Structure 1
Amino acid sequence: MPVSHPEQPKSPEQPEHPEHPEHPARSAPGAGDLADLDERVSGCRACPRLVRWREEAARTKRPAYREWDYWARPVPGFGPDGAALAIVGLAPAAHGGNRTGRMFTGDRAGDFLFAALHDVGLASRPTSTHRGDGLELRGVRVTAPVHCAPPANRPTTEERDTCRPWLVQELRLLRPTLRSVVVLGSFGWQAALPALASAGWEVPRPRPPFGHGARATLRAAGAGAPLRLFGCYHVSQQNTFTGRLTPAMLRDVLHAAAEAAGL
């Protein structure tokens, strides 16, 4: 279903330098709520390689999506204010989230994830096709450490670190209600731990290693409830098509995380 989006304004001055007011390091801490944060995220142009790639994907398109007006911008997180559970992935897909403008929407990884969320009662419907399709998440926020689609689904370390302030501020804004986090894949795990530390939780040292079914409890720095952390294989086709991650395995992790979050 084609969806129109307003064209992103393009300033001749790109916010690549950390001192630029629109760079994540400067812009993210000023977001007062999730709606404000999402708006700031969707205008980011801090990583030149990612900007080129996401916009090139929107120009060339896949034949099946030739009538779509691609989002072609950074994809913000998705889910309600006051979420008790967060799901952290990797980055949007070039013809999934980069096309639809919503995390894990419009590709097979998202189909796998939302079907499981629906099965455990955390999503209003089992499919996610486009923004405005009626899907609602129940107490869950879905996000990623990198908000732009990267070439070959592989952000660089520098791109991950440049994008981190967005995730840190998102976690800070969720902190009053957030009780558990599911991290999909080792890349997300490595990105999430320092973000969680910056957002106000104590990450054990040595850091807990990633693995499917990995669990850790992070104490809040100062007052606040502890956070339960869960590792899960990523919902990529490489994992789901080979059976490395099955629907039952994903449901088990989501059910445990939902229970820890009081959902």
Structure 2
Amino acid sequence: MSDHGPLPFAEAPKNCLRCPRLVSLRKSLRKDQPEWWNAPVPAFGDPNAWLAIVGLAPGKEGANRTGRPFTGDASGDLLFATLDQVGLSNGTFQSRADDGVTLKGTMILNAVKCLPPENKPNGAEINNCQPYLIKALDGLPKLRVILALGKIAHDSVIRMTGGRLAEHKFAHGAQHSLPAGRVLIDSYHCSRYNVNTKRLTAEMFEAVFRKALSWHERDGA
């Protein structure tokens, strides 16, 4: 995988200094785990994507370690299994950045590109990363559907498209109209906690992808 990902024009520099708290954590981890990625994590997927999946942020031993979104910890297991189930990926996911998996018509992004302490970015950090998310989404010419994994991702997309959160409330399976004929679909995040507590089941997760596929097909794809 390229260090710059498939959307190099939309990536933060490797030593981005926008968020002091995240920079401090990154520097600490570079000392403790020098072989890890420990940098802003680039997008992963198909530059001709009609579907963009927006997650929260890299996990400490997941994308922050491997350099690929949702790869290296439990959060990616359900995501990549579902992508395979609905025909949006090729290859066998092995939770490694070099496992050869590719995506079809799909791009994976994060609302925050660097690892936040306790997986909880603050408002300033989310705002600091928003320009990269905007560039990435604007850089997908065939994009029609955005799937937000969790409320932070949902809020970021609504804000960047000029919508009011009060008029676009997050709810699993909810669908929201966006400018330029695009649509936002919400899902609970595929975190280990949500999966273990059954807040999100494989069936629920597949259903939101089926909804995205159905909308895409109705759109004339």
TM-score in terms of structure 2 length: 0.89
> 1:204 Cα deviation (Å)?
6.3
Q: Which of 207, 210, 230 is matched with 2:167 structurally?
A: 207
Contact 2:63-2:71 at 8 Å conserved across structures: yes
In the other structure, the counterpart of 1:54 is 26
* Counterparts of 2:165 and 2:152, CA distance in 1: 18
> 1:236 Cα deviation (Å)?
1.0
In the other structure, the counterpart of 2:95 is 129
Contact 2:158-2:164 at 8 Å conserved across structures: no
Contact 1:119-1:126 at 8 Å conserved across structures: no
* Counterparts of 1:91 and 1:142, CA distance in 2: 11
One-letter amino acid matched to 2:62: G
In the other structure, the counterpart of 2:10 is 37
Find runs of 4+ consecutive structure 1 residues off by over 4 angstroms: none
Q: Which of 94, 109, 124 is matched with 1:158 structurally?
A: 124
Q: Which has the larger radius of gyration?
A: 1
3-state SS of the aligned residue for 1:159?
helix
- Cα distance per residue 1:96-133 (max 9 Å; x no partner): 10000011110101111111111111111352522232
Sequence identity (%): 38
TM-score in terms of structure 1 length: 0.76
* Counterparts of 1:160 and 1:205, CA distance in 2: 15
- Label 1:52 to 1:205 Cα distance change in 2 as closer, same or farther (>3 A): closer
Q: Which of 101, 109, 123 is matched with 2:75 structurally?
A: 109
Contact 1:111-1:126 at 8 Å conserved across structures: no
Higher relative contact order (CA 8 A, sep 6+): 2
One-letter amino acid matched to 1:212: H
In the other structure, the counterpart of 2:145 is 180
Contact 2:174-2:186 at 8 Å conserved across structures: yes
* Counterparts of 1:205 and 1:184, CA distance in 2: 16
Q: How does 1:198-237 map to 2 (within 5 A)?
A: 203=163, 206-220=166-180, 226-237=181-192
- Cα distance per residue 1:235-260 (max 9 Å; x no partner): 11111001110011101101111232
Unpaired runs of at least 5, structure 2: none
Q: Which of 110, 124, 127 is matched with 1:144 structurally?
A: 110
- Cα distance per residue 1:69-110 (max 9 Å; x no partner): 101000011111121000011000011100000111101011
- Label 1:219 to 1:134 Cα distance change in 2 as closer, same or farther (>3 A): same
Q: Which moved more, 1:176-185 or 1:44-53?
A: 44-53
Contact 1:181-1:228 at 8 Å conserved across structures: yes
- Cα distance per residue 1:113-155 (max 9 Å; x no partner): 1111111111113525222321101100000110000000000
* Counterparts of 1:251 and 1:135, CA distance in 2: 19
In the other structure, the counterpart of 1:119 is 85
* Counterparts of 1:207 and 1:102, CA distance in 2: 33
One-letter amino acid matched to 1:238: Y
3-state SS of the aligned residue for 1:230?
strand
Unpaired runs of at least 5, structure 1: 7-32, 62-67, 198-202, 221-225
User: Does 2:205 correspond to 1:250?
Assistant: yes
* Counterparts of 2:216 and 2:27, CA distance in 1: 38
- Cα distance per residue 1:171-217 (max 9 Å; x no partner): 1111x2111011011111111211233xxxxx367431001111112
Q: Which of 150, 157, 171 is matched with 1:192 structurally?
A: 157
One-letter amino acid matched to 2:213: A
Contact 1:58-1:99 at 8 Å conserved across structures: no
